[in-house]
Amino acid sequence: MSMRLRLLTVGGTALVGTYSFYQDDIKRATRPVIFWSQMFPIFAHYRFVEWRQNQFSKKDELMSKKNDQEWSELHKHYAPKVLKVILDLGGIYIKVGQVLATRPDVAPEIYREVFKVLLDGVPGICGETARQMVKDGLGSDIETVFSEFNDVPIAAASIAQVHKAKLLDGKDVVIKIQHPNAFEMFKSDIQTVSRFVRLAQPEQAIIMDELEKQFFMEFDFEREAWALSTIHKNMKRVAPHIKVPLPVPGLVKTNIFVMDYIPGVKLIDAVMENASKQASRFGYTLEQFQEAAKNPSILFTTRYLLDQAWTKILGGLCSIYNFAFGFLGRIEIEPTKYNIRKLYNELLYIQGHQILIDGIFNGDPHPGNILVTPQGNLGLIDYGQVKVISRKDRRDLAKLILLLAEGVSKKDETIALAKELGFETMKGNDFVMYKTCVIGLDRDDLEITEGKGIQAYMEYLDSLDRTKTIPEQYVMAVRSCIILRGMAAVLGPNHPPISICNEWKKLAQEAIKRFPPGEEDGIMPN
């Protein structure tokens, strides 16, 4: 299956099932109607366009551009329609949509932009239902546990939503409430999803298997409570200024999870606020600024760099004035509120530390799962998709990262180690094996993709050979690297390409020293 159809394969996968546990037969019967009436014509249109282009289009640069434009128009037309169907069906379909929103190697940019709403803007259950679920889950009236309960959720996702509340002792907390029937709905749909993947795209089966396990782990609130406690302990040691909520003892139940409230804004909202201010200084709308930043001209990049330099100089002058003459009245300049680059670099380091040193990490570190506190620090929340890996797996991954950090000079050694660890392609093509490792764990800039966009290059690699196996213990680490690189776009047009392996080189060296081969190889974090 071509790369251009991968989105529709996954999208079709996300929408192909029905909810066998739905509450009444009428609603159950409408679900396949929704899918087939909305998705099949879309899927068929994409298939037809691909067939026509392959059969009748000339293989020249002009026709290639025309074909690309046709695909873009299809994406613009259908992305909102697919989003509507995903929201209508909910559950696992939203989870798959969230994956697509953060995977440039799978979904075109137009779809990723449209699907970003799934990272934080999912409709939730009403306040009255939420109150009743809290009462049933805790076995007590809300008033006996909380002095305040906000009916409007502060966040909603595919499995659960979060409400702010206050304990009787005055402590601010949040309550994570699992949606009614969410587990039964997921259990029903995931079987169809898995079968469809094996039929339509069997090379993705290993990834689907791991995602399936991770999705179901999100229903285990006790495991998430353990994960938060463990991550909190680790961060106290590594970066005590980073906030991680702790579970409230005695208030972690099957479908209700009460934890500390961490004040702050979503990282994605902080990025948008900064961009809005900078766009205003440029005389642009936010949309114009974002469009210009995607393919920056020399003039735009120069203006961007000058703007960055000027704001630093102005901020420095204000600091000097306030220090010397602040008693006369302080001057406060806030051209951009958040230091996004600092936050990103810190997030990159922390994620690497959690994977390679701690062995417990968030397999879904998208911007909706990360806060910026009022003090300008990171807040790490939502560890439903936590992944743990053994000391041996950390050591082996560290070795692979060090080889990848050396670039093509260690290509042969990289391929040999990847094969030893269980990475496989269908035909055993070493070139595809190497590029798959580089793109999965390190870089995806134009030098690596030979001047092509990431989607076009993955299409090219697929035409040579296809990935057969990614070791299950590394699937979520690969996913983390891809998400982190995707987030690097927020750093501005002058930021150099991100090399995850170079950023994690010291951590990888530390992991190899800390975890030598021995009897403790299989030990997991605790």
- Which tens digits make up the pLDDT trace of 35-46? 667 777 887 888
Mean pLDDT of 388-410: 96
Strand-by-strand arrangement of the 378-380 sheet: 265-266, 370-372, 378-380
266 closest CA partner among 102, 173, 378, 151: 378
**Distance, C-alpha 410 to centroid of its chain:** 30
| 425 bridge partner residues | 467
Q: How many helices (H) and strands (E) does the chain have?
A: 20, 13
C-alpha span between 313 and 415 (Å, rounded):
48
307 closest CA partner among 318, 317, 315: 315
- Which tens digits make up the pLDDT trace of 122-181? 777 888 999 999 999 999 999 999 999 999 998 887 788 899 999 999 999 999 998 887
485, two tokens: 């690189």
453 closest CA partner among 72, 146, 46: 72
Amino acid residing at 172: D
Mean pLDDT of 409-422: 96
- Is the model's pLDDT at 387 over the cut of 70? yes
Angle between helices 475-487 and 430-441 (to 10 degrees): 60
For the beta carbon of residue 67, count every other beta carbon within 10 angstroms.
18
Q: Residue 483's pLDDT is what?
A: 87
**Distance, C-alpha 334 to centroid of its chain:** 29
Do the beta carbons of residue 480 and residue 365 sit within 8 Å? Answer: yes
Report which of residues 287 and 370 the model is more confident about.
370
- Is the model's pLDDT at 52 over the cut of 90? no
Residues 6+ apart with CB under 8 A from 404: 410, 414, 437, 438, 441, 442, 501
- Which stretch, 282-296, 308-322, 344-358, has highest mean pLDDT? 344-358
127-156+159-180+218-228+240-261 CATH: 3.30.200
C-alpha span between 213 and 208 (Å, rounded):
9
- Which tens digits make up the pLDDT trace of 343-386? 999 999 999 999 999 999 998 888 878 999 999 999 999 888 89
84 closest CA partner among 14, 24, 152, 153: 14
| 372 bridge partner residues | 265, 378
C-alpha span between 115 and 107 (Å, rounded):
10
For the beta carbon of residue 444, count every other beta carbon within 10 angstroms.
24
The ranges of the chain annotated as CATH 3.30.200 are 127-156+159-180+218-228+240-261
C-alpha span between 80 and 75 (Å, rounded):
9
Do the beta carbons of residue 183 and residue 215 sit within 8 Å? Answer: no
119: left (phi over 0), alpha (psi -120 to 50) or beta: alpha
Strand ranges in 134-287 using DSSP code E only, listed in sequence order: 146-149, 155-156, 160-167, 172-178, 247-252, 256-260, 265-266
Amino acid residing at 520: E
